[in-house]
Amino acid sequence: MDATEIPLKAPPTMTSDVRANDVEHVERALIDASTRVPVLMFYTSAIVWLLLGTLVAGLVSWKMHAPDWLANCSWLTWGRVRPAHTNIMVYGWGCMVGMGTAIWLMARLCRTTLRHPLLLVAGAALWNLGVLLGVGSVLAGESTGYQWLEFPPYAALVLFIAYTIIMSWAVLMFRFRRGDQIYITQWYLLGAFLWFPWMFAAAHVMLFITPVQGVMQSAVNWWFANNLMFLWFGAIGLGTAYYMIPKVIGRPVYSYHLAAIGFWTYALFASWTGMQRLVDAPFPAWMITASIAAAILSIIPVATVAVNHHMTMRGYFSLMRYSPTLRFTVFGAFSYTVFSLFGVFISLRSIARYLQFTQASVAYSHMGLYAFYTMIMFGSMYYIVPRIVGREWRSSSLIKTHFWMSAYGIGLMSMMLIAGAMFEGTALNDPTKEFVQSVYAIQPFIVGRSVSGILLTIAHFVFAYHFVLMLLGLGRTSTLPTFLNPVSAEGSEDGH
Amino acid sequence: MKGFVPLVLGIFGMLAFSWTGLTLVPSMQIGHIDPQMDEDGNDAYPAPRSGMAERGRRVYVSNGCVYCHSQQIRPDYLASDVDRKWGQRRSAPRDYLFDRPVLLGKMRMGPDLSNVGKRAPVEDENAPASNGPAAASPAPQGNIANANTQPAPPAGKPPAPAAAPSPPAASSPAAPANVAKSNSQSSQPATSTAPPAAVANAAPAAASPSASPAAAQPANPAVAAATSADTSQGDAGPPPYSAVWHHQHLYAPRSVTQDSNMPAFRFLYSKRRIEGEPAADALKISGDAAAPSGYEIVPTYDAQCLVAYLMSLDQSHPLKEVKSDTPVSPPAPAKAVK
């Protein structure tokens, strides 16, 4: 396709040429303006947590091959910085950026301005406080010992109250929505908003208030962790992709029916996974088998979503050359397929006997939370931020740096961990080899993982710098969005 | 899609289905099991851990040991955990009755710890074994420290039924037990030198002997394997998986296993100036990690609890619902039921 034929139009932002009779544009501008403060609050906090989590991740990764580095300080011991890293990324970065994007999408799709935005700001502040409290107590040695639920109950309570404030406002937008049609993105977002409090509360009740006995705690723990991945992060990520891809290329979703099938099978099958992370653990075999079956069946939603996105994109793939949003979103949507298939692969019993206790599960988490979810979130931020600050991204080369560093970083990290896990798992499962052989096997790959982490660190700092420029109002004033590769000379070069 | 209500109902229904299926139903199935007992109501397994071991679990959790060490043995026909001598049978839900939080683990950057307490040497037996007659004098010291730091007997092993009262009498029965069980040692000279040494610096003299006969009783096939598995254990270190060994390993992992990538947990130990006699439980570490002269390194209470917890990890007790690979102490009932 010739670049000049591409229907790249100026997005209807406030800065675009708004005519008095163009009601839609005015309406959108009003909606965007009403979401400005809370969404920027969520985004800013998320990026601060992202940078912090990235630095802590550096500690975690480096200490694995330099175990004596900073080891003599109790709150910097590996076993504390690791849960600090995962929880910062999950609750600090992932939840906050997801809620920011979701609020904006909800307002746009319900075609209603956000009422009482300051309450959302208060919710965001409280959420920040909860994460800060939780991370602090994990570093102080107060971790609960359940993965992704390490925050002690008091910090979790703060998070829950904050969440209630935030969610009620997001769901209330439905009351004021205009139009009968509920768009695909709204299904996913509504699902995420209703699922999260349930699983968060259920997990805490079953682990801390009326604790279940023995190994059932692990079942509850993994049920929660997996559903947090799929029904919270996954639902927000997929919902966002269903908005961004059609929006950017200016063409409706290929098939509504396919999307409906995808949504309901996703809710059904993805929610039943979880126990496949505990293959051959001390549980009744049916539990694990059910989860493995659910993981395999979740290929159905994966396939429908992939086909739907692919058919929507067909003929427009070359737009990825220009639109940062599209590039990040398509990368994320594609990673969703890879992530899910890898999840099926490692849950098969014959594979799990090798990979069960290796770095493969770390690779899996990163593919889900980063390659899929975070990349889509980056994409949505590249779309949303210009619309709410009224400026365009300043520099296409900063965006390109961000994209390639992130893409290569996460790609390298996944490959390092998966390849390393193969060697590690083979050594682990061979009883004639000493245990330490499995450590030797993974060691070079762990070093490689640290290198990939450097790429991600650069990406995140570049992005944060760019975001701060936007916050300070230093973005470009232009009628054209910032393209990665300028279509025409005028208006899209740097240096305005 | 139209209609807000069907959408919300569907959304709730889906998660309700999975919540019921994966947490409530299994909870009915395995969430209310009792410890196993024999016909007379004795020999309950598992038993709640001692207070120190429970506190040690907190230390284990707060320092994130679970992110590298699993505590689950997979069945022998599915994985090599049993072949690795990490346990004699697969783990079962009943093994974790009193565990809160339960620490199954998802990662093995370090070895599985389900039975690390079981791998501990039978108290006095291994002291001569790993040291030989030449190094006889440090051995009893180590043993005293051993008994010191581990006041609570591990849950699996019942306390001494009737401890022999006098120290010399107590340490000598350990020697025959030695000869009977492991043939790769010459324990006779060691025992002849050990009792005087033990008496000489026997501050807590009562603790040491009372532990020894009890511990000498259960056969311990895992010990031999574990000892041989640990390669770097050639010279005069403490016997592997003993309390002294755990302390040394926690304080300076690479002084025990050369290529370990376990972080050192020095913040669980305190370095202090020796005043008068060196403390009985001071760590004996040479090389880089050694304390400067005039100083000694002693475990804090947290470290003692952590080691007590590690020593209490033992899933060797046969369970009716699990096939045991090798019969352990009372073999008859386990075999019969399978």
Distance from CA of A448 to the nearest CA of B (A): 16
Q: What is the mean pLDDT of residues A97-103?
A: 96
Scan residues 32-91 of B and list those with Cβ closer than 8 Å to A.
32-33, 61-68, 70, 72, 74-75, 78-80, 83-84, 90-91
- List the structure tokens of B311: 């020593």
| The two structure tokens encoding residue A384 | 């949303």
Backbone angles phi, psi at A262, to 5 degrees: -60, -45
A434-468: string of b/e by CB count within 10 Å (b at 16+)? bbbbbbebbbebbbbbbebbebbbbbbbbbbebbe
**Chain A: residue nearest B29 by CA?**
A284
State the Cα–Cα distance between residues B204 and A272, nearest whole angstrom: 56
Secondary structure (3-state) at B271: strand
**Pick from A202, A287, A442: which is nearest to B19 by CB?**
A202
Q: Which of A273, A323, A322, A267 is nearest to A294 (CA)?
A: A273
| Least-confidence region, from A62-76, A260-274, A432-446, B145-159 | B145-159
ipTM for this model: 0.90
Task: Tokens for A36, please give them.
Answer: 């400005």
Q: Between the CA of residue A281 and those of A276, A297, B104, B155, what are the distances in Å?
A: 10, 22, 8, 23
Q: Does B203 touch chain A (CB under 8 A)?
A: no
Q: Tens digits of per-residue pLDDT, A21-32? A: 578 888 888 899
Residues A301-354: tens digit of each pLDDT: 999 999 999 999 999 998 888 999 999 999 999 999 999 999 999 999 999 999
What span, in angstroms and rounded, lies between the C-alpha atoms of B269 and B262?
Answer: 16
Q: Which two tokens stand for residue B56?
A: 């040690």
Q: What is the pLDDT of residues A386-415, one digit of tens each?
A: 999 999 999 999 999 999 999 999 999 999
Give the global pTM. 0.83
Q: Is the pLDDT of residue A464 over 60?
A: yes
pLDDT at B235: 53
Tens of pLDDT, residue by residue over A30-75, are 899 999 999 999 999 999 999 999 999 999 999 999 998 888 899 9
Q: Identify the weakest region by mean pLDDT among A421-425, A433-437, B325-329.
A: B325-329
pLDDT digits (tens, 9 = 90+) for A145-156: 999 999 999 999
> Quick check: B59 and B117 in contact, CB under 8 A?
no
Q: How many CB atoms sit inside 10 A of residue A252's CB?
A: 9
Amino acid letter, B191: T
Q: Which of A118-122, A452-456, B155-159 has the lowest mean pLDDT?
A: B155-159
Residue A490, C-beta contacts closer than 8 angstroms, at least 6 positions apart: none
Interface test with B, best of A60, A78, A180 (most B CBs within 10 A): A78
Residue A284 is nearest to which of B29, B84, B264, comparing CB atoms? Answer: B29
Q: Contact A411/A405 with Cβ under 8 angstroms?
A: no
Distances (CA, A) of A191 to A115, A194, A195, A339, B130: 21, 5, 6, 21, 62
Interface of B with A in 158-197 (CB under 8 A): none
Cα separation, B274 vs B294, whole angstroms: 6
- Residue B219: which region, alpha, beta or left (left: phi > 0; alpha: psi -120 to 50)? beta
Which residue of B31, B65, B97 is in closest CB contact with A79? B65
- The rounded average pLDDT for each run of 10 residues, N- to C-terminus, in chain B (338 residues) is 82 94 93 87 87 95 95 90 90 92 93 92 50 37 39 40 40 39 39 39 39 40 42 62 93 89 93 86 82 89 96 91 61 39
Q: Which residues of B48-84 are buried (b: 16+ CB within 10 A; e: fewer)?
A: ebbebbbbbbbbbbbbbbbbbbbbbbbbbebbbbbeb
**pLDDT tens-digit profile of A179-213?**
778 899 999 999 999 999 999 999 999 999 999 99
Q: Does A115 touch chain B (CB under 8 A)?
A: no
Residue A81 near residue A56, CB atoms below 8 Å: yes
Check if the beta carbon of residue B239 is closer than 8 Å to that of residue B227: yes
Q: Which residues of B touch A182 (CB under 8 A)?
A: 1-4, 7
- The residues pairing with B45 across neighbouring beta strands, listed in sequence order, are B36
Cβ-Cβ contacts under 8 Å for A14 (sequence gap 6 or more): A29, A32, A33, A387, A390
Average of per-residue pLDDT across A266-287: 92
pLDDT at residue A11 is higher than 90? no
Facing B7 at nearest CB: one of A190, A271, A359: A190
Encoded tokens for A182 = 């509920």
Burial of B39 (0-12, 13-18, 19+ CB in 10 A): exposed
The set of residues, in sequence order, having a beta carbon less than 8 Å from that of A276 and lying 6+ positions away, is A288, A291, A292, A294, A295, A343, A347, A352
Nearest to A282 among B4, B64, B72 (CB): B72
Minimum distance, in Å, between the CA of residue B174 and any CA atom of chain A: 31
What does the block give as tokens for B296?
């000694």
